[in-house]
Amino acid sequence: MKPFDLSGRRALVTGANTGIGQGIAEALAWAGAHVVCAGRSAMDETVERIHSAGGSAEPLALDLADPKAAARTVEEVAGQGLDILVNNAGIIRRADAVDFAEADWDEVIDVNLKSAFLLSQAFGRAALAHGTGGRIVNVASVLSFQGGIRVASYTASKHGIVGLTRLLACEWAAKGINVNAIAPGYIATSNTKALREDKERYEAIVERIPAGRWGEPSDIGGAAVFLASDAAAYVHGAVLPVDGGWLAR
Protein backbone atom coordinates (compact mmCIF):
# COMPACT_ATOMS: atom_id res chain seq x y z
CA MET A 1 0.00 0.00 0.00
CA LYS A 2 1.29 3.44 -1.02
CA PRO A 3 -1.06 5.92 0.65
CA PHE A 4 0.41 8.98 -1.10
CA ASP A 5 0.33 7.41 -4.59
CA LEU A 6 -2.13 9.13 -6.95
CA SER A 7 -1.48 6.89 -9.94
CA GLY A 8 -4.58 6.35 -12.07
CA ARG A 9 -6.36 9.40 -10.69
CA ARG A 10 -7.44 12.47 -12.59
CA ALA A 11 -7.16 15.89 -10.99
CA LEU A 12 -8.33 19.35 -12.04
CA VAL A 13 -6.44 22.35 -10.66
CA THR A 14 -7.74 25.87 -11.26
CA GLY A 15 -5.31 28.74 -11.70
CA ALA A 16 -2.55 26.28 -12.54
CA ASN A 17 -0.66 28.58 -14.90
CA THR A 18 1.58 30.06 -12.20
CA GLY A 19 2.24 30.38 -8.48
CA ILE A 20 0.53 28.10 -5.98
CA GLY A 21 -1.63 26.45 -8.62
CA GLN A 22 1.41 25.53 -10.67
CA GLY A 23 3.15 24.15 -7.58
CA ILE A 24 0.12 22.03 -6.72
CA ALA A 25 -0.32 20.78 -10.29
CA GLU A 26 3.31 19.68 -10.46
CA ALA A 27 3.15 17.93 -7.09
CA LEU A 28 -0.01 16.01 -8.00
CA ALA A 29 1.57 14.95 -11.29
CA TRP A 30 4.76 13.82 -9.54
CA ALA A 31 2.55 11.70 -7.25
CA GLY A 32 1.12 10.00 -10.33
CA ALA A 33 -2.08 11.87 -11.15
CA HIS A 34 -3.08 13.05 -14.60
CA VAL A 35 -3.57 16.78 -14.10
CA VAL A 36 -6.01 18.97 -15.98
CA CYS A 37 -4.49 22.45 -15.68
CA ALA A 38 -7.40 24.89 -15.84
CA GLY A 39 -7.72 28.64 -16.08
CA ARG A 40 -8.14 31.66 -18.31
CA SER A 41 -4.41 32.09 -18.98
CA ALA A 42 -2.28 29.81 -21.13
CA MET A 43 -1.17 26.66 -19.31
CA ASP A 44 1.72 25.89 -21.66
CA GLU A 45 4.49 26.39 -19.10
CA THR A 46 2.87 24.22 -16.43
CA VAL A 47 1.99 21.43 -18.84
CA GLU A 48 5.52 21.49 -20.29
CA ARG A 49 7.10 21.39 -16.83
CA ILE A 50 4.98 18.37 -15.92
CA HIS A 51 5.71 16.57 -19.20
CA SER A 52 9.43 17.30 -18.86
CA ALA A 53 9.40 15.64 -15.44
CA GLY A 54 7.70 12.55 -16.89
CA GLY A 55 4.20 13.42 -15.69
CA SER A 56 0.85 13.60 -17.42
CA ALA A 57 -1.11 16.82 -17.93
CA GLU A 58 -3.38 18.72 -20.28
CA PRO A 59 -4.67 22.32 -20.45
CA LEU A 60 -8.30 23.39 -20.09
CA ALA A 61 -9.71 26.84 -20.84
CA LEU A 62 -11.75 27.96 -17.82
CA ASP A 63 -12.78 31.56 -17.15
CA LEU A 64 -13.71 31.84 -13.49
CA ALA A 65 -14.93 35.40 -14.00
CA ASP A 66 -18.02 33.58 -15.31
CA PRO A 67 -18.52 31.00 -12.53
CA LYS A 68 -21.63 29.42 -14.06
CA ALA A 69 -19.94 28.76 -17.39
CA ALA A 70 -16.86 27.42 -15.60
CA ALA A 71 -19.05 25.08 -13.56
CA ARG A 72 -20.67 23.72 -16.73
CA THR A 73 -17.22 22.94 -18.10
CA VAL A 74 -16.18 21.19 -14.89
CA GLU A 75 -19.45 19.23 -14.94
CA GLU A 76 -18.52 17.94 -18.40
CA VAL A 77 -15.02 17.02 -17.27
CA ALA A 78 -16.33 15.34 -14.11
CA GLY A 79 -18.78 13.35 -16.20
CA GLN A 80 -15.81 11.83 -18.02
CA GLY A 81 -14.16 10.92 -14.73
CA LEU A 82 -12.56 13.21 -12.18
CA ASP A 83 -11.16 12.15 -8.81
CA ILE A 84 -9.66 15.37 -7.43
CA LEU A 85 -10.70 19.02 -7.62
CA VAL A 86 -8.37 21.76 -6.40
CA ASN A 87 -10.05 25.16 -6.11
CA ASN A 88 -6.96 27.34 -6.18
CA ALA A 89 -7.66 30.22 -8.56
CA GLY A 90 -7.92 33.56 -6.83
CA ILE A 91 -7.50 37.28 -7.36
CA ILE A 92 -6.93 40.19 -5.01
CA ARG A 93 -7.77 43.90 -5.02
CA ARG A 94 -6.20 46.41 -2.64
CA ALA A 95 -7.75 49.62 -1.28
CA ASP A 96 -8.76 51.14 2.04
CA ALA A 97 -12.18 49.88 3.13
CA VAL A 98 -13.70 53.37 2.83
CA ASP A 99 -12.58 53.55 -0.80
CA PHE A 100 -13.19 49.94 -1.83
CA ALA A 101 -15.10 49.75 -5.11
CA GLU A 102 -18.19 47.58 -5.39
CA ALA A 103 -16.94 46.19 -8.70
CA ASP A 104 -13.71 45.04 -7.02
CA TRP A 105 -15.73 43.42 -4.25
CA ASP A 106 -17.95 41.53 -6.70
CA GLU A 107 -15.13 40.41 -8.96
CA VAL A 108 -13.07 38.94 -6.11
CA ILE A 109 -16.03 37.19 -4.48
CA ASP A 110 -17.09 35.71 -7.83
CA VAL A 111 -13.66 34.30 -8.67
CA ASN A 112 -12.49 33.31 -5.19
CA LEU A 113 -15.68 32.07 -3.53
CA LYS A 114 -18.65 31.72 -5.87
CA SER A 115 -16.65 29.77 -8.44
CA ALA A 116 -15.26 27.47 -5.72
CA PHE A 117 -18.80 26.63 -4.64
CA LEU A 118 -20.17 26.10 -8.14
CA LEU A 119 -17.20 23.97 -9.24
CA SER A 120 -17.44 21.91 -6.05
CA GLN A 121 -21.17 21.53 -6.64
CA ALA A 122 -20.54 20.26 -10.19
CA PHE A 123 -17.85 17.87 -8.95
CA GLY A 124 -20.06 16.67 -6.09
CA ARG A 125 -23.04 16.02 -8.32
CA ALA A 126 -20.98 13.81 -10.62
CA ALA A 127 -19.29 11.97 -7.75
CA LEU A 128 -22.59 11.32 -5.98
CA ALA A 129 -24.33 10.23 -9.17
CA HIS A 130 -21.61 7.73 -10.02
CA GLY A 131 -20.86 6.72 -6.42
CA THR A 132 -17.15 7.23 -7.02
CA GLY A 133 -16.30 9.56 -4.14
CA GLY A 134 -13.44 11.98 -4.53
CA ARG A 135 -11.30 14.71 -3.03
CA ILE A 136 -11.80 18.46 -3.00
CA VAL A 137 -8.93 20.66 -1.85
CA ASN A 138 -9.74 24.35 -1.44
CA VAL A 139 -7.03 26.98 -1.15
CA ALA A 140 -7.82 29.26 1.76
CA SER A 141 -5.32 31.66 3.38
CA VAL A 142 -3.92 32.78 6.71
CA LEU A 143 -6.38 35.65 6.12
CA SER A 144 -9.13 33.08 6.62
CA PHE A 145 -8.26 33.56 10.31
CA GLN A 146 -7.06 37.17 10.35
CA GLY A 147 -8.28 40.48 9.04
CA GLY A 148 -5.43 41.75 6.94
CA ILE A 149 -5.17 45.32 5.66
CA ARG A 150 -6.70 46.88 2.54
CA VAL A 151 -7.97 43.56 1.15
CA ALA A 152 -11.63 43.54 2.22
CA SER A 153 -13.06 41.30 -0.48
CA TYR A 154 -10.10 38.91 -0.44
CA THR A 155 -10.34 38.45 3.33
CA ALA A 156 -14.11 37.91 3.14
CA SER A 157 -13.69 35.38 0.33
CA LYS A 158 -11.07 33.39 2.22
CA HIS A 159 -13.16 33.32 5.39
CA GLY A 160 -15.94 32.05 3.15
CA ILE A 161 -13.73 29.29 1.75
CA VAL A 162 -13.23 27.88 5.25
CA GLY A 163 -16.97 27.91 5.92
CA LEU A 164 -17.68 26.30 2.56
CA THR A 165 -15.05 23.62 3.19
CA ARG A 166 -16.63 22.68 6.51
CA LEU A 167 -20.18 22.78 5.16
CA LEU A 168 -19.39 20.48 2.23
CA ALA A 169 -17.42 18.15 4.49
CA CYS A 170 -20.43 17.81 6.79
CA GLU A 171 -22.74 17.02 3.86
CA TRP A 172 -20.46 14.72 1.87
CA ALA A 173 -18.06 12.99 4.28
CA ALA A 174 -20.32 9.96 4.69
CA LYS A 175 -20.67 9.74 0.91
CA GLY A 176 -17.00 9.25 0.17
CA ILE A 177 -16.07 12.82 -0.72
CA ASN A 178 -13.32 14.41 1.36
CA VAL A 179 -13.39 18.21 1.42
CA ASN A 180 -10.47 20.01 3.05
CA ALA A 181 -8.47 23.20 2.64
CA ILE A 182 -4.92 24.49 2.70
CA ALA A 183 -4.21 27.90 4.25
CA PRO A 184 -1.01 29.22 2.69
CA GLY A 185 0.92 31.92 4.45
CA TYR A 186 3.00 34.51 2.63
CA ILE A 187 4.02 32.84 -0.63
CA ALA A 188 6.05 34.42 -3.43
CA THR A 189 3.42 34.69 -6.19
CA SER A 190 1.99 37.36 -8.49
CA ASN A 191 -0.74 38.09 -5.90
CA THR A 192 1.90 39.11 -3.35
CA LYS A 193 4.12 41.04 -5.76
CA ALA A 194 3.00 44.42 -4.38
CA LEU A 195 3.88 43.38 -0.83
CA ARG A 196 7.26 42.01 -1.81
CA GLU A 197 8.10 45.23 -3.64
CA ASP A 198 7.32 47.26 -0.50
CA LYS A 199 10.66 46.84 1.27
CA GLU A 200 9.37 47.91 4.70
CA ARG A 201 6.33 45.61 4.61
CA TYR A 202 8.37 42.75 3.18
CA GLU A 203 10.95 42.91 5.94
CA ALA A 204 8.29 43.26 8.66
CA ILE A 205 6.56 40.14 7.37
CA VAL A 206 9.77 38.10 7.21
CA GLU A 207 10.63 39.08 10.77
CA ARG A 208 7.27 37.74 11.97
CA ILE A 209 7.51 34.37 10.17
CA PRO A 210 9.12 31.79 12.51
CA ALA A 211 10.63 29.98 9.52
CA GLY A 212 12.42 33.21 8.59
CA ARG A 213 11.42 33.24 4.92
CA TRP A 214 8.51 33.61 2.54
CA GLY A 215 7.16 30.36 1.16
CA GLU A 216 7.49 29.09 -2.39
CA PRO A 217 4.65 27.56 -4.44
CA SER A 218 6.35 24.17 -4.15
CA ASP A 219 5.87 24.36 -0.36
CA ILE A 220 2.11 23.97 -0.88
CA GLY A 221 2.37 20.96 -3.19
CA GLY A 222 3.04 18.33 -0.53
CA ALA A 223 0.03 19.39 1.52
CA ALA A 224 -2.16 19.11 -1.57
CA VAL A 225 -0.88 15.61 -2.32
CA PHE A 226 -1.60 14.55 1.26
CA LEU A 227 -5.17 15.86 1.25
CA ALA A 228 -5.84 14.37 -2.19
CA SER A 229 -4.49 10.94 -1.27
CA ASP A 230 -5.61 7.89 0.68
CA ALA A 231 -3.34 9.05 3.51
CA ALA A 232 -6.06 11.61 4.31
CA ALA A 233 -8.99 9.20 4.02
CA TYR A 234 -10.29 10.12 7.49
CA VAL A 235 -9.59 13.84 7.19
CA HIS A 236 -12.73 15.91 6.60
CA GLY A 237 -13.31 19.64 6.98
CA ALA A 238 -9.73 20.36 8.01
CA VAL A 239 -7.86 23.56 7.22
CA LEU A 240 -4.12 22.91 7.07
CA PRO A 241 -1.91 26.00 7.51
CA VAL A 242 1.26 25.96 5.42
CA ASP A 243 2.63 29.26 6.63
CA GLY A 244 6.11 28.87 8.10
CA GLY A 245 4.56 29.11 11.56
CA TRP A 246 2.81 32.47 10.98
CA LEU A 247 -0.42 31.52 12.77
CA ALA A 248 1.47 29.94 15.65
CA ARG A 249 3.09 33.23 16.56
Residue 242: per-residue pLDDT: 98
- 181-204 mean pLDDT: 89
Task: Kindly report the number of other CB atoms within 10 A of residue 180's CB atom.
Answer: 25
DSSP secondary structure letters along the chain: --TT--TT-EEEEETTTSHHHHHHHHHHHHTT-EEEEEESS--HHHHHHHHHTT-EEEEEE--TTSHHHHHHHHHHHHHT---EEEE---------GGG--HHHHHHHHIIIIIHHHHHHHHHHHHHHHHT--EEEEEE--GGGTS--SS-HHHHHHHHHHHHHHHHHHHHHGGGTEEEEEEEE-SB-SGGGHHHHHSHHHHHHHHHH-TTSS-B-THHHHHHHHHHHSGGGTT--S-EEEESTTGGG-
Q: Write down the mean pLDDT value for the chain.
A: 96
- 198-224 mean pLDDT: 94
- Exactly one of 154, 186, 202, 234 is catalytic; which is it? 154
Say if residue 1's pLDDT is above 80. Answer: no
Architecture of domain 10-243: 3-Layer(aba) Sandwich (3.40)
Residue 190: per-residue pLDDT: 78
Residue 194: per-residue pLDDT: 80
Q: How confident is the model at residue 193 (pLDDT cuts 50, 70, 90)?
A: confident
Based on the residue annotation, tell me whether 234 is a catalytic residue of this protein.
Answer: no
pLDDT per residue over 11-47, tens digit each? 999 999 999 999 999 999 999 999 999 999 999 999 9
- 64-77 mean pLDDT: 94
- 64-74 mean pLDDT: 94
Do the Cβ atoms of 247 and 145 come closer than 8 Å?
A: yes
pLDDT per residue over 107-142, tens digit each? 999 999 999 999 999 999 999 999 999 999 999 999
Contacts of 201 (CB under 8 A, 6+ apart): 195
Q: How confident is the model at residue 191 (pLDDT cuts 50, 70, 90)?
A: confident
Domain boundaries, the chain: 10-243
